[in-house]
Structure 1
Amino acid sequence: MFSQFKNIDTAFKHIRLFSLFLIVACMVISCFAIYEYYCFYTLKDQRIYILYNGKLLTALASDRKSNLPVELRDHIRTFHQYFFALVPDDKAIKASVTRALYLADESAKKQYDNFQENGYYNNLIAANISQEITVDSIQLDVDRFPYPFRCFATQKLVRSSSTVYRKLISQGVVDDLKNQTDNNPHGFLIRKFELLENRAEQLKQEQP
């Protein structure tokens, strides 16, 4: 009889061990299934469907953080293009600067007022000077917020008799408004904008 009880106790232990193993296996499989579903759901959210020439194309979206340096540099470059690339026309200058001021705060407006008070824009119009700008490089620190930057650019002032090249260096910080608009598609705002350097580098005389 004792031998029979011993066999029953051994069988019960085996059943308990098997049940425990089965429970653990089910939990592992359930966790794996939940993880796989989460990965699939995340990937599905990142997938964008684009209709191009009647064909449905699939693209993957990335989070904004991975594209942050690219977006910041584009915002800074766009601001400088609007603010410094000018033609000798009063309405065109005001329209271009107005677009630039959507991308910056009152510090850029103050710089615009200084130019205006010094007759800078009137001189461009009177001398029929077209002003172009090429952004050479942008130093950016995305580990600090608001994001500080320094922009190095070359200005080209073209008139009928000569072309003047000027070196321009500006700096400021970029704030994240977290709100994009048609006038500010990246949703950033340049603050503490100032010109560190704006000097003539080269004068090229036009051949008669």
Structure 2
Amino acid sequence: MIIKNIESKIRLATLLSIGSFLTSIIICGFVSAYAYQQVANARQSIYILDNDIPILAKQTNMQMNRPAEYKAAVDLFHSLFFNLTPDDKHIEYQMEKAMYFVDETGVGQYNNLKEKGYFNSILSSSSVLSIQTDSIVIDQNRFRYYGKQKIDRRSATITRSIVTEGELIDIPRSENNSHGVLITNWKTIENKDLSNVSKNTF
């Protein structure tokens, strides 16, 4: 009888040990999952100090905001490439900044314009070029840009329709490309005069 009682107690102790071990594992699993969820939620929140008062600001999902960043990058690139003044240093600066947003197709267009004397004509005619964005259409990783460029010369003001298109790829963000967007296969599909208004030269 004594031996049977000892065996029963050993079995009971073993079962209790196994049960406690399994229960501990289950509790640890739940606690870990809860802690992970809390950390993930915390990462979605940013606190901004306003006069030493913390204000909660919610982060937005990167992919949800990506189309807006695509449009901003495309708009910035076209602004850099088409807004020019009769200053060779300014033109060089604009082109250098623009090239951070485009692949070799942009470099090709720049070199082509340079060879044709486009930038020299801006300097010689004291032209001021500015572009106004009408719309940017984003379709997944492709875009089409619609804008109007005004060329203000001493003798006339010319307005042109500018339409370009290309593809967009995600790249690591940098100081020179904060949106992390690279324009590829960029080409101009329309560049035509809409109006040419002469100025009084007297």
The two structures have a TM-score, normalised by structure 1, of 0.77
Q: What SS does structure 2 have at the residue aligned with 1:71?
A: helix
Runs of 5+ consecutive residues of structure 2 not aligned to the other structure? 1-25
Shift in Å, 1:137: 0.7
Instruction: Give the count of matched residue pairs.
Output: 174
How far apart in 2 are the matches of 1:72 and 1:91?
Answer: 28
SS across alignment from 1:92:
helix
Further displaced range: 158-167 or 104-113: 158-167
**Cα offsets for 1:69-120 (capped at 9, x unmatched):** 1000001001000111101111100100100001111100000001000000
Q: CA deviation at 1:51?
A: 1.9
Q: Which residue of 2 aligns with 1:161?
A: 155
Worse-matched range after superposition: 54-63 or 65-74: 54-63
Deviations 1:25-50 (A, max 9, x none): xx9xx97x988766544332111011
User: Residue 174 of structure 2 aligns to a residue in which SS?
Assistant: coil
Q: Which amino acid aligns with 2:50?
A: Y
Aligned residue among 58, 63, 66 for 1:65: 63
> Contact (CA 8 Å) 2:125, 2:154: kept in 1 or not?
no
Q: Which residue of 1 aligns with 2:195?
A: 202
1:106 aligns with 2:74: no
For 2:165 and 2:117, locate their aligned partners in 1 and report how far apart those are by CA, in whole Å: 23
In the other structure, the counterpart of 1:76 is: 74
Deviation readout 1:8-27 (Å, 9 max, x if unpaired): xxxxxxxxxxxxxxxxxxx9
Amino acid at match of 2:43: D
Instruction: Give the 3-state SS of the residue equivalent to 1:160 in structure 2.
Output: coil
Which of the numbers 119, 136, 142 marks the counterpart of 1:138? 136
Deviates more, 1:53-62 or 1:188-197: 53-62
1:96 maps to which of 86, 94, 97: 94
Take 1:200 and 1:141, find their aligned partners in 2: how far apart are those partners?
A: 27
Corresponding residue for 1:187?
Answer: 180
- Which residue, out of 164, 171, 175, partners 1:170? 164
Structure 1 residue 56: deviation in Å? 2.0
Identity of aligned residues (%): 32
User: Which residue of the partner structure matches residue 46 of structure 1?
Assistant: 44
Give how far 1:202 is off. 1.0
SS in 1 for 2:178: coil
Instruction: Pick which of 158-167 and 79-88 moved more.
Output: 158-167
Relative to structure 2, which stretch is displaced further, 45-54 or 113-122?
45-54
**What SS is found at the alignment partner of 1:185?**
coil
Q: Which blocks of at least 5 consecutive residues in structure 1 are unaligned?
A: 1-26
* Counterpart residue number, 1:9: none
Per-residue deviation, 1:184: 0.6
What TM-score do the two structures reach when normalised by structure 2?
A: 0.79
CA RMSD of aligned residues (A): 2.0
- State the alpha-carbon separation in 1 of the partners of residues 149 and 50 from structure 2: 39
